[in-house]
Structure 1
Amino acid sequence: MNFNKINFFYFLGIGGIGMSSIARYFHFMGKKVCGHDKNKTYLTQKLEEEGISINYRDCIKMLPEWIHSKECLIVYTPAIPNDNKQWIYLKKYGKNIKKRSKVLSSIAKNGICIAIGGTHGKTTTCALLGHILYNSGFSITAFLGGISENYQSNIILNGSKFFLVEADEFDRSFLHLSPNIACVTSFDQDHVDIYPKKYVLRKAYLSFLKKIKKPYRKVFLLQEESLILKNAIYYSITKKANYYSNNILTKENKWYFDFHTPTETWKSLPLPIPGIHNLKNVTAALSISDYLKINQEKVRESLLSFQGIKRRYYIHYQSKRKVYIDDYAHHPTEINFLIKTVRDCFPGKKILGIFQPHLFSRTKFFEESFAKSLEKLDILILLDIYPAREFLLNEIINSNSLLKKVKMDSNKKELSTLSNVLKIIEKKHFDIILTIGAGDIDTLITPIKKWLYKNDLEK
C-alpha cells in the first residue's frame, strides 16, 4: 500500500485504542485525518485537541466532502456495527477501504517490525520496550494498546527504522503481520467467538510465528507457556532459560529482581509495575532489549523512569486509610493476577471490587472461572455485561447468572448499574477499591476519586 498517494484518511470507530494510534500516526505525517465514533470519550477528546475532526452522529451527511476521492483511504474496525449508516454507505460507495489490521501491517512493512503477541501482557511489554528503545535513541515508532503515562499517548514517534506493534489475535488480525522479531508473552484461551477450542488458537499463533522474516528472524517465547517452536529464544521467571529473572525482593512496597542474559547478570533492577505477571512482561522486554544490544545502564534508567499505562494497575488514590486502583483485567487469569498483586502489596486489607464483564461470549464461556476469581475479593459489586461488538441472540446471558455462581455471603455481593455504584460504595466498609474490566467502567474513575478525596479527608 503506497501511502504517499493517499492524502485523506477516514476512520470508522476512531475512538478505539488501536484505531486512534494509527489516526495519530497519519496526522503526524501531515495527512488530513478525521473519523466517526458513537461516543465522545477521553480519547476522542484528546484526538480533537490534537486537530483531528470527529463526528458522533451516525449520519451520511457527516461524511467529509473528500470521502469519494481516490486519494482517500477509509479505515474500519471489525467492532463497527453492521447497521451503522456510514458503514453501509461506505461499503457501497467508498473507493479504498481497508481493515485496521491490514493498514497497520502495511505501515510496519516500511521498517524492521517487532510484534508483541499474547493473551495477556502485550500492552505492558510493548509500552516498556518502546520506552527503552526511545530512551536508547532508536529510530522507533511504537503503536500501543494503551495510553502510556510517559508519553500521554498510545503512540511513540521517534523515527521509522523500527516499528513496534501489538500482535492482536482477535479476528486473526495478527496474521497480516510479517515481523522480523516476534514475542508471545502468554498463551491462554480467549476470544472464544473466534477460537472456540484452544487448539484453534494454538494453530493461529503458530501460523503467526511462522511469518517472521529476515533480518533478525527471531521468536521470543515464555518458557512457562505451552508453545514450543524450534530455534526460539526462551525467557522465564521460574527456571533457567536463554534469559531469566529471579531473586525477587520487596522493600518498602517496591519490587527488585535480578535479570540474567546469556553472558551476564544485571543485579537488583527495579520492577516498575508490581506483580509476578508483570515480571514476566518486563523480562520479555529486557530480553529483546539485550538481543538488540541495549546496555544495562540504559535499561536501568528506563525502568526507573517508566510510569506505566493507564488502566494497568493504575493507582488513582492512596492515603493512610484508602487506596483506589483501576485495572483493565477482563479475563479470569488477569483478575487472579490483579487480586494477588494487591494482596501482596497491601496485606491484610479489605478489598472491594467493582467488576464489569466484557462480552457475552467471554462471560458465558468463563463463567465458572470468573466466579472463582471474584471470590478472592472481600466485597463484590457486579455490573451488567458490556456487549462491545456483540448482541444477544437466542439465549439470555447476564450478570445475575454469574453472581449466583460466586460463592460469597449474600451481603458481600450484589448487582449494580454504573450510575448506582457510588450509592452502594457509601454504605460499605473497605480499605481498597478496585475497578476491573474492559468496557466503559473507566467512566467511574473520576466520580470515585472525587468521592474519596471528599469523604476520606473529612474523616
Structure 2
Amino acid sequence: MANYHFIGIKGSGMSALAQMLHDLGHNVQGEDIETHLFTQTALDARHISIYPFGEGPLVLPDLTVIVSNAFTDDHPAVARCRQAGYAIERYHHFLGQWMREYTSIAITGSHGKTTTTGMMAHTLGAVKQVSSLIGDGTGKGSAGAELFIFESCEYKRHFLAYRPEIAVITNIDFDHPDYFADIQDVRSAFEEMASQVGRQLIVCGDDPQVRQLQTSKKLLKYGFMEHNDLRASEPEVAEGGVAFEVHWRDSKLGRFVIPAFGRHNVLNALAVIGTALLLDLDLERIRESIATFAGVKRRFTEKQWKGNVLIDDYAHHPSEITATLEAVRSKYPEKRVVGVFQPHTFSRVEKLMDDFAVSLRAADDVFLCPIFGSAREVFGSVSIEQLKAQIPNAQLISECNVADLSGYENSVLVFMGAGDIQKYQVLLEQL
C-alpha cells in the first residue's frame, strides 16, 4: 500500500487516476479549487479527502505527490510539497511508469478517445478483469486485472511518456493550435507515439491522416472502406441505437448493435471489436457486452425538458461538432436541431474559424456563447462576433439572455463545448 497526494485532483485524468489507485487499496487524498466539479462526485463516493489548495495535510509517510499537467512547477501548492521534501511526479510520467505491470491498451486520437476508452473498458471488462482510466473522470482499479485500458492524450506530446502494448488511433486531425504548428506536426507526434507501441496498432483506416502514418509497426485497420481488415457495413438506426454488420477480412462476424448513434460511434465500436480479436476474446460475449454500453459523461448526455430534448456534449472541434450533429439528426430526424456552442480557447477559434462555421451550419439554429479562455494562452484578437458573421441567423447568447432558448417546442437543444457550457443548460432548466 502506498500513499498519494494529488495536486489538481478534480481534473478529469487526475480524478480517474485517484479513483483507480484508491480501488487498488492505496491511501489517496488531494487538493483543488473549492468549486464543485462533476469529476469529484466519484471521489466523494469513495470518501477520498479533497482539500483547498495549500491545506492538504502532508503527514503520510513516503508520500508521493502527483501533479496535474494543468499546474506549473511554481504553483504554490506544488512549491509547498517540494519544500516539504516530498517526491513530485507529473501525471503522465507517473502513469507511464505505473502501467508497466499490465498489458496496457492506449486509446488515442484527435477525437473520440473518451467514448472509445469507455466502450473498451465496459466491453472487455465483461470478459476479463480490467483496470481503466477514462477521460471523463472515471477510473476503476481491479486487483486481479491483467489489462489496463486508458485514454492517451496527444497534447504537448504527453502520450510519449507511455509505452503501451496495444494502441488504438481513432483519427488524426489538427487541434491544439496553441502547441502544434500544423497537421504535419500532429501526425509526426502520432508517428513517434506509434514507434513506442510494443505489440500492435489498431487504427481507423478510413481516416486520411491515419493512412499517411509512417510506421514499421503491425497495423489492424478498421472502418467502412473496403481496404480495411475489419469493416462495418449496412448501418441502420435500430431501437435505441445503431445496428451494423461486421466483416473480418474474408469472414462475416455477424450483426452488432450499440446503444449510440452516428457513424463515428460505429467506428469506435470497431476499435473495440478489433482489440477483442487481437486478444482472442470470446466474440459472443463481446457482442453481448457492447450492446449494453451506457456511454460516458458529457458525451451525448440527454434529458427531457418541457417537450424538448437537451443534450450535453463535449464537442469542441469542428470535426466533433459535425459528428455530434449528424448523430442528433440520425436519432431525431423529425425534430428541429438547435446548436448552442461555447468555443474553447481563442487559438482554436482563430485557427479553425472557417471549419467551425461550416460544421455549425448543420444545425437549424445556432446560439454562440462567449469564448471560453484557457490559462494556457493569452487572450487573442479573435472574437465571437467574427464567427457569428459566418453563420446565417446565428445569435449570441450569454448568462443574461438564456431565456432566448425557452421558446422552442419539440426540438433538440445541443449544448456543445469543453469549457463551462453546462451553466447555460442549468440556467435554462431553472426557467
Q: TM-score, normalised by structure 1?
A: 0.86
Which residue of structure 2 lines up, in the alignment, with residue 117 of structure 1? 108
Which residue of structure 1 lines up, in the alignment, with residue 348 of structure 2? 362
1:65 aligns with 2:58: yes
Which residue of structure 1 lines up, in the alignment, with residue 288 of structure 2? 301
Classify the secondary structure of the residue corresponding to 1:376: coil
| Aligned counterparts of 2:401 and 2:146: Cα–Cα separation in 1 | 47
**Aligned in 2, Cα 1:398/1:34: closer, same or farther, shift over 3 Å?**
farther
* Cα offsets for 1:171-224 (capped at 9, x unmatched): 2111011111111010111111221111111111111111122xxx11111111
Which residue of structure 2 lines up, in the alignment, with residue 40 of structure 1? 36
Classify the secondary structure of the residue corresponding to 1:109: helix
Query: Which residue, out of 125, 134, 143, partners 1:144?
Result: 134
- State the Cα distance separating 1:448 from its structure 2 match: 4.2
- State the Cα distance separating 1:104 from its structure 2 match: 1.2
- State the Cα distance separating 1:376 from its structure 2 match: 1.8
| Aligned counterparts of 2:272 and 2:378: Cα–Cα separation in 1 | 39
1:210 aligns with 2:192: no
- State the Cα distance separating 1:118 from its structure 2 match: 0.5
Classify the secondary structure of the residue corresponding to 1:20: helix
* Cα offsets for 1:283-330 (capped at 9, x unmatched): 1111111121122310121122111112111222278x4222221101
1:434 aligns with 2:414: yes
| Aligned counterparts of 1:109 and 1:389: Cα–Cα separation in 2 | 32
Query: Which residue, out of 245, 258, 278, partners 2:232?
Result: 245
Which residue of structure 1 lines up, in the alignment, with residue 201 of structure 2? 219
1:8 aligns with 2:3: yes
CA contact (8 A) 1:75 1:100 kept: yes
Q: TM-score, normalised by structure 2?
A: 0.92
What pairs up with 1:216-295 in 2 under 5 angstroms? 217-225=199-207, 226-227=209-210, 228=213, 229-230=215-216, 231-252=218-239, 254-262=241-249, 264-295=251-282
Classify the secondary structure of the residue corresponding to 2:187: helix
CA contact (8 A) 1:351 1:430 kept: no
Query: Which residue, out of 396, 402, 407, partners 1:415?
Result: 396
**Aligned in 2, Cα 1:402/1:93: closer, same or farther, shift over 3 Å?**
farther
Classify the secondary structure of the residue corresponding to 2:341: strand
| Aligned counterparts of 1:331 and 1:284: Cα–Cα separation in 2 | 21
**Aligned in 2, Cα 1:379/1:20: closer, same or farther, shift over 3 Å?**
same
**Aligned in 2, Cα 1:90/1:117: closer, same or farther, shift over 3 Å?**
same
The one-letter amino acid of 1:16's match is G
CA contact (8 A) 2:341 2:369 kept: yes
| Aligned counterparts of 2:58 and 2:200: Cα–Cα separation in 1 | 45
- State the Cα distance separating 1:397 from its structure 2 match: 3.2
What fraction of aligned residue pairs are identical, expressed as a percent?
26
The one-letter amino acid of 2:264's match is H
Choose 276-285 or 92-101, whichever is displaced more.
92-101
- State the Cα distance separating 1:450 from its structure 2 match: 5.7
Which residue of structure 2 lines up, in the alignment, with residue 456 of structure 1? none
| Aligned counterparts of 1:323 and 1:331: Cα–Cα separation in 2 | 22
RMSD: 2.3
| Aligned counterparts of 2:267 and 2:91: Cα–Cα separation in 1 | 29
- State the Cα distance separating 1:117 from its structure 2 match: 0.8
* Cα offsets for 1:142-175 (capped at 9, x unmatched): 111125xxxxx44363633111111110121110
Which residue of structure 2 lines up, in the alignment, with residue 171 of structure 1? 156
CA contact (8 A) 1:101 1:176 kept: yes
Aligned residues: 425
The one-letter amino acid of 1:352's match is V
- State the Cα distance separating 1:438 from its structure 2 match: 1.0
| Aligned counterparts of 1:158 and 1:345: Cα–Cα separation in 2 | 39
CA contact (8 A) 2:300 2:313 kept: yes
What pairs up with 1:277-356 in 2 under 5 angstroms? 277-317=264-304, 321-356=307-342
Classify the secondary structure of the residue corresponding to 1:367: helix
- State the Cα distance separating 1:114 from its structure 2 match: 0.8
What pairs up with 1:385-396 in 2 under 5 angstroms? 385-392=371-378, 395-396=380-381
Query: Which residue, out of 378, 381, 384, partners 2:367?
Result: 381
**Aligned in 2, Cα 1:236/1:257: closer, same or farther, shift over 3 Å?**
same
Query: Which residue, out of 394, 405, 409, partners 1:425?
Result: 405
CA contact (8 A) 1:10 1:73 kept: yes
The one-letter amino acid of 2:45's match is E
Query: Which residue, out of 83, 89, 100, partners 2:80?
Result: 89
- State the Cα distance separating 1:14 from its structure 2 match: 0.7
The one-letter amino acid of 2:181's match is P
